[in-house]
Structure formats: structure tokens, C-alpha cells
Structure 1
Amino acid sequence: MKLDYLQALKRVTEAQGAWVMHGQEPLLEQNLLDALRRHWQSQEIERQRYEIQSVQDWKNVFNALNSLSLFSQQLAIEAHGNIKPDAASLKLLKEYLQYNEQNLLVVVMPKQDTQSLKSSFFQTIEANGVLVSLQANYPQDRQRILATEAEKLGITLNQDAWQWLLEHHEHNLLAAKNSLIRVSDTFSDLQHIGIDQLYACLQDQSRYSTYDLNDSMLQGDLAQSVKIYQYLLATGEAMSLILWSISKEMRLLMQLYEQPQNALQLGIWKTRVSYYQQALRRLSPQRFLGWSNLLLRIDAAIKGISEENAEHLCLQAVAELCGKQLFDG
């Protein structure tokens, strides 16, 4: 079964078997996972998380799904990564889907291209589970999703304000949500927000944006990148948005290294292809090996799962993208 984000949200309480969500929208991923976790907590369903960093990790996932602890009747497993099961693990997946009706496997992956979605893994999920596309391709879809976020904050926007907000953040829903939070806090006495309030609240803080940070990192300008990064922190930019921005650039660079002829298919704008090509000429592929782990550490620090300093780790990631290293060792 195929579902979009809004359809999936309505089916959270009946989720079972296997769900695979993929896309490039961190807001949609975050909201859907939060809804699932709230449901699991309310039903006292045990939750476990696995990072899929190699094909072998899938065996651990299916071993866990097939063995409950003494203290739980149901288990929900989150598997995060971009590595599909091999033939042996795919067999385990099919057995799980056929015989295990109690537990739930939620696989969280980045956006998949058309060819990848034709693979046996995704075909199996579509036929026997739920495939969720975390995308909002059209302005009306993005506005509908953000209207729900605005409703949570107790505010409404007129159509001109919606158009300005969507254009201001291009297609970045997480950034747009953070702006809704900012304008709600700034004009806490207003329920109806117009373009004047949005402009007054956001324009004076738009000296630098995450897009400026991306450009500076891709150009290898560490001093400017640090300056922009510190500005974003000082003006209250959400760490989750900064992490999303950095991880997007790292992922695109690694994908372009593997597929140098497919820049446009990977979603890189034609006018920006040269930035990525120059960055790849400057960066050593050996650097890529540590990026996934660094991003996981930042994510854990932001969520309070680890005691590491998220801002310091993010600064390391900024330096990595510039091709520099802040610390030895």
C-alpha cells in the first residue's frame, strides 16, 4: 500500500507489519515518528531503534522482531539508514510479514529515486506493508501541512502571507514551521497573521540563512562558514534545521561522488552543480567515511540522548564540509 504523509498520520493507531517512510522533508519525518511514538507509549509498546550501517545490521533487526522481552507483548522497531536488505534479509522480511502480526517495523530512509523504488525490497513493502512518501511536491500540499502547524500554535495566515512564507523558505517545510513559531512568539497578542507581521518578524533576521551557510561550506570558506553558523545560533535558528541543512549537503556530495553524471537527477539545481563539483575536487573521499557517524552524534546530542555538545559537533560538521578539521585525532 502507498500512502502520503497526511494519509499515514490518520493510520498511526492501526500501524502493524512493516512501514517504510522515505523522503527529504525532515518536518514530515519528525511529525510522523512523533505520532507513532506517542501511540506506542500510550499502548505500552516497547520501542527499539537500530542504525542500518551495513547489510548485516538487518539480521539484528529481524532477530529482535522475532523475540519479545519478558516485559512486553508488542515491539516497535525503528530502523534508520539507506541500505536495503540483501537476499537473505529480504527472505527474513517476507517471513516476518507473513507470520508476525503483533510487531511493527518502521524503516526510515532518505528520498529514493524511481529505479530504487522498483527493487525487490520496496516492491515487497508496497505489496505487503505500507510505503509512505514524505514529500510535498505542490504548493497547496505544503500550505495544507503548514496550516496544521499554524493551527497548533493558535494562529491563521491570510493567502498573501502564505504565499510570502512559502516563497521565503522555497520548499523547506521545517524552516517555514520554525518561522511560524517565531512569528507566533513575536506577535503573541495576534491570532491572525498577515504579510506585514511575517515581513517584520523574519526580514530583519534574514541577513544570513542556512542557504548562505551551504554556499559558504561548498566553497570551502571556513572563516565565513563559522561566521554564518554563529549568526544562525545567535538569532535562534533551530539546531534541527541546521543539522538538516548540513546532512543534506553531505548526502548530496556522497551521492554525486558515486554518480558524477547524475547531478540533476539527484535534485541539485543546474545553477549550483558547479559548487558541488568544486567541493568534490577539494574534498578527499576518505572524509566521507566519518560523516554518517558524526551526523548521528549530532542528532543524538540535539535530542538529549547523549551528553555531547550539539553546537560543538555541528561546528565540526561545518569544518568537515569545508574540507578542514578543527581538532587533531
Structure 2
Amino acid sequence: MKLDYLQALKRVDEARGAWVLHGQEPLLEQNLVDAFRASWQKQEIERQRYDISSASDWKTVFNALNSLSLFSSQLAIEVHGNIKPDANGLKELKSYLQHNEQNLLLIVMPKQDAGSLKTAFFQVMDANGVSVALTASYAKDRQQILMAEAQKLGIQLANDAWKWLEQHHEHNLLAAKNSLMRVSDTFSEVDVIQIDHLYSCLQDQSRYTAYDLNDAMLQGNLAQSIKIFQYLLASGEPASLILWSVSKDMRLLMALFEQPQNALQLGIWKTKISLYQQALRRLNPNAFLSWPALLLRIDASIKGLGHENAEHLIMQAIAQMCGKRLFPPA
């Protein structure tokens, strides 16, 4: 079964079997994954996360799905990566979908090209699971998504203000959401936000974006990267979205190291391929081994599940992306 983003949001609580989310809209991915995690916590469903770096990693995933802990009656497995199950993995997937009706396998992948969407994996998911394309190709869809974000913030926009907001951010939903957060804080007493409110609030707030941070990290410019990171925090950018941006590039670099000829298939924009290739030449691949664990620590600290400082950990991740140490060795 295929669902769009808004349809998927309505079915989170009842989700079972296997779901795959794929696309290049960070706001949609973050919202859906957060909705799933909140639902699992509410239902007291045990959650595990795995990052796929090779086809053999899928064996660990299916082993986990078929073995509950003593304290759990249901399990949610969250998988991140762009490597699909091989022939043996597809057999395991089909068996799981036929016999396990209580657990959930949530697979989060980057944007897929037309050829990838026709592979056996997606055919199985379309027929027996749920496939969600994280896209918003039409203006009415983008406005509907942003209207839901505005409703969460308790604000309303005039009709022409919506058009101005989308044009200002060139259809970038994540940047538009951040602007809604700023205008909500600045004009909390205004009943209906007009273009003038947006303009006065945003004209001085567009110095850096998360994309600037990505470019600075890929170029190995640690000083600029930290400067942009601190600006984003001061501008109200949620730490969870900064983490999403950092982790996306970390995973793309690890995947590109394993598949150097498949940059486009991995979801890297054509204009950015040279940046990623330069970063790979600069970085020591051995450093990649510690990245998944660091990302998990950051994720836990943002959610208040640990005692570490999330901002300090994100700066460590930024430094590692730049191929440098944040602090000199003792």
C-alpha cells in the first residue's frame, strides 16, 4: 500500500508489519519518525534502532524482530540506511510480513530514483507493507503541511502570506517551518499573520541555514561550521533538526565510501557530488566506525535520556565531519 505523508500521519498509532519512508524532505521525515516514537512510548512498545551499512546487517534486524525481550509484548525496529535486503533478506522480510502481526519494522531511506522504486524490495513493500513517499510536489500539499505546523504553534496566516512564505523559502519546508516558529515567537499576540509580519521578522534572520552548515562541514571548515551551528541555535533551530542534517551527511559519506560509483543513487544531488568526494579524500575512513554510536548518544541526549550535553556532542560530530578534533588530546 502506498500512502502520502498526511495519510501516514493519521495511521501511526495503528502501524504494524513493515513501513518504508523514503524521500528528501527532512521536515516530513523528522515529523513522521517523531510521531512513531511518541506513539511507541505511549503504547509502551519497546524500540530498537539499527543503521544498515551492508546487506548482511539485515540478518541482525530480522533476528531482533523475531525475538522479544522478557519485558515486552511488542517491538518496533527502526532501520536507517539506503541498502536494501538481498535475496535472503527478502525471504526473511516476506516471512516476517506473513507471520508477525504485532511488531513493526520502520525503514527510513533517502530519496529513491525511479529504477530503485521498481526493485523487488519495493514491490514487496507496496504489496504487503506500507510505502510512504516523503514528497510535497504541489503547492497545495506544501501549504497543507505548513498549515498543520502553524496549527501546532497556535498561529494563522493570511492567504497571501502563505504564498509569500513559500516563495521566500523556494519550497524548502524545513526552512519555512523554522520561519513559522520565529514569527510565532515575535508576534504571539497577533491573530492573523500578514506579509508585513513575515517580512519584518525574517529579513534579518536568513543569514545561515542548515545547508550552509552542511557545506562548511564537507569543506572541512571547522571554525565556520561551529559559527553557523551557534547561529542556528541562537535563531531557534531545534537541536533535533540540526542533528538530522549532520547525521544525513555522515551516513551519506559512509555509504559513498562503500559505494563510490553510486552517488546519485544514494540521494546526493549532482551539484554536491564533488563536495562529498573531496570530504572522503580528506577524512580517515576509520573515523566512520565511531559515528553511529555518537549519533545515538546525541539522539538520546536531545530526548533527555542521558546526562551528556547535546550541544557539546553535536559540536563533536561537526568536528569529526571536518576531520578535526574539537579539543586537543591530553
The TM tier, using the shorter chain, reads 0.7 to 0.9
Post-superposition offset of 1:191: 2.4
Deviation per residue, 1:258-297 (Å, 9 max, x gap):
3457559844253x55544443443344444433333333
Q: Cα–Cα, structure 1 residues 235 and 278, in superposed 2: closer, same or farther, change >3 Å? A: same
Across the two proteins, how many residue pairs are aligned to each other? Answer: 327
Alignment map for 1:1-329 (pairs within 5 Å): 1-41=1-41, 44=43, 46-53=45-52, 54-68=54-68, 72-257=72-257, 258-260=259-261, 262=263, 266-268=267-269, 270=271, 272-327=272-327
Tell me how far apart the structure 1 counterparts of residues 91 and 100 of structure 2 sit (CA, whole Å). 14
Q: Cα–Cα, structure 1 residues 72 and 184, in superposed 2: closer, same or farther, change >3 Å? A: same
Deviation per residue, 1:199-252 (Å, 9 max, x gap):
222222223332332333333222222222222223332212222222333344
Query: CA-atom RMSD, angstroms?
Result: 3.0
Tell me how far apart the structure 2 counterparts of residues 245 and 52 of structure 1 sit (CA, whole Å). 16
Give the aligned residue type for 2:137.
N
Deviates more, 1:258-267 or 1:243-252: 258-267
Deviates more, 1:184-193 or 1:9-18: 9-18
Deviates more, 1:299-308 or 1:159-168: 159-168
Tell me how far apart the structure 1 counterparts of residues 280 and 63 of structure 2 sit (CA, whole Å). 39
Give the aligned residue type for 2:247.
S
Q: CA contact under 8 A between 1:3 and 1:130: conserved in structure 2? A: yes
Post-superposition offset of 1:136: 1.8
Deviation per residue, 1:168-208 (Å, 9 max, x gap):
43443233222212211211111211222112222222233
Tell me how far apart the structure 2 counterparts of residues 110 and 51 of structure 1 sit (CA, whole Å). 15
Q: CA contact under 8 A between 1:175 and 1:241: conserved in structure 2? A: no
Give the aligned residue type for 2:139.
P
Deviation per residue, 1:81-136 (Å, 9 max, x gap):
43433333322221121122233222223333333333332221111111111222
Tell me how far apart the structure 2 counterparts of residues 317 and 38 of structure 1 sit (CA, whole Å). 26
Tell me how far apart the structure 2 counterparts of residues 55 and 84 of structure 1 sit (CA, whole Å). 7
Tell me how far apart the structure 2 counterparts of residues 215 and 265 of structure 1 sit (CA, whole Å). 18
Deviation per residue, 1:281-323 (Å, 9 max, x gap):
4334444443333333322222223322221121122222323
Where in structure 2 are there 5+ consecutive unaligned residues? Answer: none
Give the aligned residue type for 1:279.
A
SS at match of 2:204: helix
Q: TM-score with structure 2 length normalisation?
A: 0.84
Give the aligned residue type for 1:268.
W
Give the aligned residue type for 1:298.
I
Q: Cα–Cα, structure 1 residues 15 and 150, in superposed 2: closer, same or farther, change >3 Å? A: same
Q: Percent identity?
A: 67
